[in-house]
Structure 1
Amino acid sequence: MKLIFTILITLLSVVLYAQNASVTGMVAVSDGKSAEFINVQLKGAKRGTVTDSEGKFKIDNLNAGVHTLIFSGIGFDTQEIKFQVRTDANKILEKVILKENTRNLNEVVVSGQKSEKYIADVPSQSLRLAAPLIEIPQNISVATRQTIIDMGMLNKNDVIRAVSGITKTYGDDLDASLLIRGTNATYSTYRNGVGGPIWWNAQEDASMIERVEFVKGPAGFMLANAEPGGLVNTVTKQPTHERINEVSFGMGSYNMMRTAVDLGGEFTEGGKLTYRLNTGFQQSAKFYKLSNFNRFFVCPALKYDFTDKSSITLEHNYVKAVSAHNAYNQISINEQFYALPYNMAMNDPNIGNFMGADVYTRLAFNHQINDQWKLNAQVAYMTTDWDGMALYVNGLSATKDTIYRTNSSSDWYGKLYNMQVFADGKFNTGNAVEHKVLIGLDFGDGGEGSTYGGDWSNPKRLQLSIKNPIYYVPKDSLTAFPAENKGSWMATNKWQALYVQDHIKIAKKYIVTLAGRFTMLTTGQDYNGGVDDPEYEITENAFTPRIGLTYLPSDNLSIFAIYDQSFLPQRGAVFGGSRLPPLTGSNKEIGIKALLFNKKLSLNASVYSIEKNNVSTTDPIHDGFYLQTGQIKSEGFEMDMIGNITDNLSVIANYSYTNARVTKDLDSTVVGIKNYGTPDQTMNAWLKYKFNEGLLKGLSFGAGVQHMGNRSGVYVGWGSEFGNKNLPTYTIYDACVNYNFSKISIGLNVYNLTNQKYVSNGYYSPDAQEWVYSPGTPINFRLQTTIKF
Structure 2
Amino acid sequence: MDMERTRDSSRMTAIGYRSALLLGCTALVVLAPDPLLAQESGSSNAVTSLEAITVEAGGLDPDNDSKSIVATKTLSGSKMATDILDIPASVSVITSKEIQERGAQDVEQVLQYTAGVSTDFYGSDDRFDYFKIRGFDAYTYRDGLTLGDPFGGIREEPYAFERVEVLKGANSTTFGVSDPGGAVNFVTKRPKSERFGEAYVTGGSFDHRETGVDFGDNITEDGTLSYRLTGKVKRADDEYDYSQDDENFFMGGLTWRPSDDTNLTIVFDHLDRDGVPGSGGHPVGTDFDRSRFFGEPDFNYRDVNRNTLSVLFDHDFGSGLTFSSNARYSDARSNFGYAYISRTPTDGSTVADRAFFANDTAAENFIIDARLQYDASFQDIDSRSLVGVEYNKLQSDNDGYFGAAPSIDWLNPVYTGAPASVPLYQSLTNDQETRALYFQQDLTLSEKVIATVGLRNDWLDLHQRNNITDTTSEADLSEFTKRAGLTYRVTDEVAAYVSYAESVLPTSLTLEPERGEQWEVGIKYRPDAFPALFSAALYDLTKNNITRTNPATGFQETIGEVRVRGLDLEAKAELTNNISLIAAYSYMESEILENGTLGNEGNEMSFVPHHLASLWVNYLLPGEGSRGDMNFGLGARYTGSYYFDDANTQSTGSSVVFDAAFSYKIQENTSFDVKVSNLFDEKQVSYGGFGADFYNPGRAVYATLRQTW
Would the aligned equivalents of 1:255 and 1:285 in 2 still touch at CA under 8 Å?
yes
How far residue 327 of structure 1 moved from its aligned partner, in angstroms, is 3.6
Alignment of 1:573-652 (within 5 A): 579-596=510-527, 598-618=529-549, 626-652=556-582
Cα pair distance change 1:588/1:125, threshold 3 Å = closer
How far residue 329 of structure 1 moved from its aligned partner, in angstroms, is 4.3
How far residue 453 of structure 1 moved from its aligned partner, in angstroms, is 1.9
How far residue 542 of structure 1 moved from its aligned partner, in angstroms, is 2.6
How far residue 412 of structure 1 moved from its aligned partner, in angstroms, is 1.4
| Counterpart selection for 2:701 from 777, 781, 787 | 781
Counterpart in 2 of 1:400?
Answer: 349
What TM-score do the two structures reach when normalised by structure 1?
0.78
Counterpart in 1 of 2:682?
Answer: 756
Measured in 2, the distance between the counterparts of 1:288 and 1:254 equals 9
Does residue 426 of the first structure (1) align with residue 351 of the second (2)? Answer: no
Does residue 320 of the first structure (1) align with residue 272 of the second (2)? Answer: yes
Cα pair distance change 1:600/1:658, threshold 3 Å = same
Counterpart in 1 of 2:224?
Answer: 272
| Counterpart selection for 1:240 from 192, 203, 208 | 192
Measured in 2, the distance between the counterparts of 1:345 and 1:209 equals 34
| Counterpart selection for 2:672 from 736, 742, 746 | 746
Q: Using CA pairs under 8 Å that are at least 6 residues apart, name the structure with larger relative contact order, 1 or 2.
A: 2
Alignment of 1:116-155 (within 5 A): 116-124=67-75, 128-155=79-106
Counterpart in 2 of 1:62?
Answer: none
Alignment of 1:497-516 (within 5 A): 497-516=436-455
Measured in 2, the distance between the counterparts of 1:455 and 1:125 equals 42
| Counterpart selection for 1:167 from 112, 118, 131 | 118
How far residue 621 of structure 1 moved from its aligned partner, in angstroms, is 7.5
| 1:338-374 per-position Cα deviation (integer Å, ceiling 9, x unaligned) | 4334321012222152202332211122100104121
Measured in 2, the distance between the counterparts of 1:172 and 1:190 equals 23
Counterpart in 1 of 2:507?
Answer: 570
Alignment of 1:212-611 (within 5 A): 212-324=164-276, 326-333=277-284, 336=285, 338-397=286-345, 398-430=347-379, 432-456=380-404, 461-471=405-415, 473-475=416-418, 478-482=419-423, 485-528=424-467, 532-533=471-472, 536-572=473-509, 579-596=510-527, 598-611=529-542
How far residue 635 of structure 1 moved from its aligned partner, in angstroms, is 0.8
| Counterpart selection for 1:683 from 586, 592, 613 | 613
How far residue 34 of structure 1 moved from its aligned partner, in angstroms, is 7.5
* Structure 2 SS opposite 1:615: strand
Counterpart in 2 of 1:98?
Answer: none
Alignment of 1:718-757 (within 5 A): 720=647, 723-740=648-665, 741-757=667-683
How far residue 196 of structure 1 moved from its aligned partner, in angstroms, is 4.4
How far residue 302 of structure 1 moved from its aligned partner, in angstroms, is 0.9
| 1:679-725 per-position Cα deviation (integer Å, ceiling 9, x unaligned) | 211111100110245445521111110111112201x4xxx2xx343
Q: Percent identity over the alignment?
A: 22
Alignment of 1:51-62 (within 5 A): none
| Counterpart selection for 1:655 from 562, 585, 588 | 585
Measured in 2, the distance between the counterparts of 1:506 and 1:113 equals 29
* Structure 2 SS opposite 1:519: strand
Would the aligned equivalents of 2:536 and 2:568 in 1 still touch at CA under 8 Å?
yes
Measured in 2, the distance between the counterparts of 1:446 and 1:135 equals 35
- What is the number of residues matched between the two proteins? 653
Task: Show structure 1 runs of 5+ residues with no match.
Answer: 1-31, 39-52, 55-73, 75-108, 573-578
Cα RMSD for the two superposed structures: 2.6
Would the aligned equivalents of 2:550 and 2:598 in 1 still touch at CA under 8 Å?
no
How far residue 538 of structure 1 moved from its aligned partner, in angstroms, is 1.1
Would the aligned equivalents of 1:239 and 1:301 in 2 still touch at CA under 8 Å?
yes
How far residue 172 of structure 1 moved from its aligned partner, in angstroms, is 5.4
* Structure 2 SS opposite 1:596: coil
What amino acid sits opposite 1:588 in the alignment?
Answer: W
Cα pair distance change 1:602/1:697, threshold 3 Å = farther
Cα pair distance change 1:126/1:559, threshold 3 Å = closer
Measured in 1, the distance between the counterparts of 2:412 and 2:281 equals 16
| 1:414-433 per-position Cα deviation (integer Å, ceiling 9, x unaligned) | 23221111111211222x11
| Counterpart selection for 1:669 from 599, 613, 622 | 599
* Structure 1 SS opposite 2:99: helix
| 1:206-246 per-position Cα deviation (integer Å, ceiling 9, x unaligned) | 32221100000122222222211111011121111121231
Would the aligned equivalents of 1:491 and 1:571 in 2 still touch at CA under 8 Å?
no
Counterpart in 2 of 1:50?
Answer: none
* Structure 1 SS opposite 2:67: coil
Task: Show structure 2 runs of 5+ residues with no match.
Answer: 1-49
Would the aligned equivalents of 1:512 and 1:549 in 2 still touch at CA under 8 Å?
yes
Would the aligned equivalents of 2:279 and 2:292 in 1 still touch at CA under 8 Å?
no
Measured in 2, the distance between the counterparts of 1:250 and 1:369 equals 46
| 1:396-415 per-position Cα deviation (integer Å, ceiling 9, x unaligned) | 23333112111122111223
What amino acid sits opposite 1:517 in the alignment?
Answer: R
Measured in 2, the distance between the counterparts of 1:223 and 1:465 equals 49
| Counterpart selection for 1:204 from 140, 147, 156 | 156
Larger mean CA deviation between 515-524 and 315-324 belongs to: 515-524
What amino acid sits opposite 2:310 in the alignment?
Answer: R
How far residue 509 of structure 1 moved from its aligned partner, in angstroms, is 0.8
Measured in 1, the distance between the counterparts of 2:217 and 2:506 equals 42
Measured in 1, the distance between the counterparts of 2:436 and 2:501 equals 17
Measured in 1, the distance between the counterparts of 2:495 and 2:421 equals 61
What amino acid sits opposite 1:556 in the alignment?
Answer: E
| 1:127-170 per-position Cα deviation (integer Å, ceiling 9, x unaligned) | 61232111010101000001101111112121111211112344
Cα pair distance change 1:587/1:622, threshold 3 Å = same
How far residue 497 of structure 1 moved from its aligned partner, in angstroms, is 1.4
Would the aligned equivalents of 2:658 and 2:678 in 1 still touch at CA under 8 Å?
yes
| 1:521-572 per-position Cα deviation (integer Å, ceiling 9, x unaligned) | 2334443355654xx1112223212110001011221001101111222134
How far residue 481 of structure 1 moved from its aligned partner, in angstroms, is 3.1
* Structure 1 SS opposite 2:130: strand
Measured in 1, the distance between the counterparts of 2:597 and 2:539 equals 27
Measured in 2, the distance between the counterparts of 1:315 and 1:213 equals 20
Measured in 2, the distance between the counterparts of 1:444 and 1:126 equals 21
Counterpart in 1 of 2:16?
Answer: none
Larger mean CA deviation between 598-607 and 445-454 belongs to: 445-454
Counterpart in 2 of 1:21?
Answer: none
**Structure number with bigger Rg:** 1
Larger mean CA deviation between 149-158 and 441-450 belongs to: 441-450
| 1:272-304 per-position Cα deviation (integer Å, ceiling 9, x unaligned) | 111111111112112211111101111111111
Cα pair distance change 1:155/1:447, threshold 3 Å = same
Measured in 2, the distance between the counterparts of 1:506 and 1:340 equals 63
How far residue 676 of structure 1 moved from its aligned partner, in angstroms, is 2.3
* Structure 1 SS opposite 2:444: strand
